[in-house]
Amino acid sequence: MNHIRLASPTLRFPRVPLDRFVLPTVGVEYLPIPENADLRGFLDVLHARESRREFVRAPEDRDVSDLLWHAFKTKQRRRNDDGYRWEHRPAPSAGGLHPISVLVMNRPPQRDAVFLYDPIAHALGRIEPVNRDVVLSFFSAVNSVLPVGEAAIVWFVADFRLTLSKYENGESLVWRDAGALGATVELVAEALELSSCAIGITGEPFVAQITGNVPMLEGVGGCLIGKRPIARESLPPISASRTSARRQSRGPVQTGDRRLR
């Protein structure tokens, strides 16, 4: 078995500070600020979180907006003495660099459009031009590990150049940032009572092509987000005989061999 051992990062010296590469977008859709109505307690959310793979409907625009705000919004930023921009967001990031940007896809009615989240303005902009065939190939790659259906695709694209400019052997820092983001988005999805499931592919080579083949800008995974089926306990009561008939007809959960779990 081949094992690529990622070297341990060290602070690069001397170094030339960089800013994160910002993908050019067209149009700006400012998103509403969440109302924070009826938010659940943190420990309740933490223990209730699980990978939920049924997406009965697309998330509403409001769901997407709330999810982006709670999981990814920038709260503070400043320029450090070493010239790097430091940011504070809900998920931690090595050096406060936040090299990972968030793409949103499969949003009706423009399902093949690719939106970039702006965590300062809390807004979405559309990446243009994108090769629709590449977007569809990407959807198909995601779909081969987990049926996408109506779910929104939330994908992470990392600017490795930013982290590597500050840290020698910084690759593992970027991957750990991706893990921190993945956990954060899933906890937020749980708090918002949405279905969410991480996807095990990186998204390459498609994400690099979708984002214009910028050097060292690469897909580092993502997740699906959608409306979850109505919880059994919130359904109106039904007779015992109908319950047992439903139970018998459901059968075992089907899992495809190609799913990465």
Ligand X SMILES: Cc1cc2nc3c(=O)[nH]c(=O)nc-3n(C[C@H](O)[C@H](O)[C@H](O)COP(=O)(O)O)c2cc1C
- What is the binding site for ligand X (CB under 6 A)? 50-51, 53, 145-146, 182, 197-200, 259-261
Residue 136 vs 260, nearer CB to ligand X: 260
Q: How far is the CB of 201 from ligand X (least distance, A)?
A: 7
Q: Which residue's CB comes closest to ligand X?
A: 200
Residue 54 vs 61, nearer CB to ligand X: 54
Q: Are strands 76-79 and 26-30 parallel, antiparallel or unpaired?
A: unpaired
- Give yes or no for a contact between 192 and 63, defined as CB atoms under 8 angstroms apart: yes
Residue 191 vs 199, nearer CB to ligand X: 199
Question: What single string gives the DSSP state of each residue in 65-95?
Answer: HHHHHHHH---EEEE-TTS-EEEE-SS--GG
Q: How far is the CB of 213 from ligand X (least distance, A)?
A: 25
On the CB side of 79, CA atoms within 13 Å amount to 4
Q: How far is the CB of 182 from ligand X (least distance, A)?
A: 6
Residue 130 vs 146, nearer CB to ligand X: 146
Q: How far is the CB of 148 from ligand X (least distance, A)?
A: 11
The encoded tokens of residue 253 equal 């959960």
The encoded tokens of residue 18 equal 């960089």
Residues 66, 156: Cα–Cα separation, whole Å: 18
